[in-house]
Amino acid sequence: MKKTISLFICILAIIFSFNITVSAAKPAPNTNNTIIVEKSIDNEPLDATIFEITLLKDGKIYATGQISTAQSLIFPNLPDGRYSVTEAPKEGYSLVSISPSTVRASKGGTYTFQIINHKESTIDPPPPPPPPADNIYYVALGDSIGTGSTSRGTTSSYVVGFYNYLVSANPNVTVTMKNLSTNGDDSSDLLGKLRADTNCTGDVAKATILTLNIGGNNVLPAGESSFSKINHAVAEEGTLRFESEYQQIIDEIRRCNATVEIITMTLFNPYNAISIRYYEGDPVLHQEVEFYAARINAKIRGISDPNYRFAEVHDLWKAKYADVGKMGSVTYFYPSALFKFTRDPHPNQTGQNELTELMKQAYLQTP
């Protein structure tokens, strides 16, 4: 009997000892996991709007935080478990996706959620045309771009297009147009004509709206051998004159008319910025012309006057046409190889139509 009791006590001791060993070997829950939440807005990558994020562990709220495209959200020292994230709705934004939907964190791992939003379109209505006066007296100053003259014949110039817009936009107002643009005029020619009206009795004094394009003929004579090379001495002389005279042109207009709305345009570069067949040398010529066009356009852009606006033709046509080898879409500058000697930098009808739209947009801008 005593032997049986002793044996039973020994067996209990062994079992108790084994349980202690097993319990001691079981690891403690991990609390060293990390979750990173990253944000992107698919149609506005630079939008830094802040969003509220909630971290759920096993379906229950565990933590909250804020996130934007500029700053990721990090949840450190997390215990093992299944995690997901939710985002509070934000007016003007829709949720595209949260990926992955859940993660199981364990063993000190790092896990990343990607949240993508979409900014809803908020297209403002176009600004209304300026309020009509008793009548509109529209005067255009400029060169052959304003007359529409080209080596291929006459286009309907932006001056005509802008006049037609003024008529349609002001049905109850009398609109009168005086197109004083003259083929071949450069800045010196225009300045001389403005100075000649010493008593301010001409059309500029009566104008309520005035459009202006000038500067092309300051550098056009520098294009030699059918525009296959640039005479830099001629281009430099014409550019220097423009730099000296453009402010004087605006001052002369203001001498006779202190309130007229002046809408002008930057000077475009007719050369493609990339090589195309038969015109492989044009990218170099494009860069050479840019040196002079940049200086001319700096003067056009640099006028400080509350009733002065400009259409950014240069930058738009460079990005839309020159940089992709398509200046022939808006000018007569890229005839077929057989007729390279007939190159003409003037806008074609497509180009004139675009100039009309750009001048209209500039006119509608808030001064």
Residues 190 and 311 in one domain: yes
Encoding tokens for residue 232?
A: 């830099």
Q: Which of 93, 119, 145 is the last residue of a domain?
A: 119
Residues 91 and 153 in one domain: no
Question: Is position 2 within any domain?
Answer: no
Q: What is the DSSP letter of 240?
A: H
Query: CA 333 to CA 346: how far, in whole Å?
Result: 7
Question: Is position 127 within any domain?
Answer: no
Are 119 and 194 in contact by the 8 Å Cβ rule? The answer is no
Query: CA 92 to CA 121: how far, in whole Å?
Result: 8
The CATH number of the domain holding residue 237 is: 3.40.50.1110
Q: pLDDT confidence of 129, banded at 50, 70, 90?
A: low
pLDDT at 18 over 50: no
Residues 139 and 102 in one domain: no
Question: Is position 213 within any domain?
Answer: yes
Alpha helix ranges (H) inside 257-342: 282-301, 313-320
Residues 246 and 305 in one domain: yes
What is the tens place of the pLDDT at every residue in 272-311?
999 999 999 999 999 999 999 999 999 999 999 999 999 9
Query: CA 292 to CA 267: how far, in whole Å?
Result: 10
Nearest to 252 by CA among 210, 206, 192: 192
Question: Is position 15 within any domain?
Answer: no
Torsion angle of alpha carbons 150, 156, 157, 162, nearest 10°? 180
Residues 306 and 345 in one domain: yes
Residues 103 and 192 in one domain: no
Question: Is position 161 within any domain?
Answer: yes
Question: Is position 3 within any domain?
Answer: no
In Å, how far from its chain's centre is CA 341? Answer: 36
Helix axes 232-256, 282-301, angle to 10 degrees: 20
Cα–Cα separations (whole angstroms), residue 252 to 45, 178, 256, 296, 305: 47, 18, 7, 19, 13
Question: Is position 268 within any domain?
Answer: yes
- Residue 177 φ then ψ, to 5°: -120, 135
Nearest to 270 by CA among 290, 255, 256: 290
Encoding tokens for residue 23?
A: 């319990």
What is the tens place of the pLDDT at every residue in 225-252?
999 999 999 999 999 999 999 999 999 9
For position 21, what pLDDT does the model report?
A: 45
Query: CA 179 to CA 367: how far, in whole Å?
Result: 24
Number of independent structural domains in the chain: 2
Nearest to 54 by CA among 113, 116, 120: 113
Q: What is the DSSP letter of 176?
A: E
Residues 273 and 149 in one domain: yes
Cα–Cα separations (whole angstroms), residue 20 to 10, 16, 27: 16, 6, 13
The verdict on pTM exceeding 0.75 is: no
Residues 161 and 197 in one domain: yes
Question: Is position 7 within any domain?
Answer: no
The CATH number of the domain holding residue 79 is: 2.60.40.1140
Q: In which domain, by residue range, is 141 found?
A: 135-364
Query: What is the chain's alpha carbon radius of gyration, rounded to the nearest angstrom?
Result: 36
In Å, how far from its chain's centre is CA 361? Answer: 15
Encoding tokens for residue 9?
A: 């006590």
What is the tens place of the pLDDT at every residue in 163-211?
999 999 999 999 999 999 999 999 999 999 999 998 898 999 999 999 9
For position 59, what pLDDT does the model report?
A: 83
Residues 299 and 150 in one domain: yes
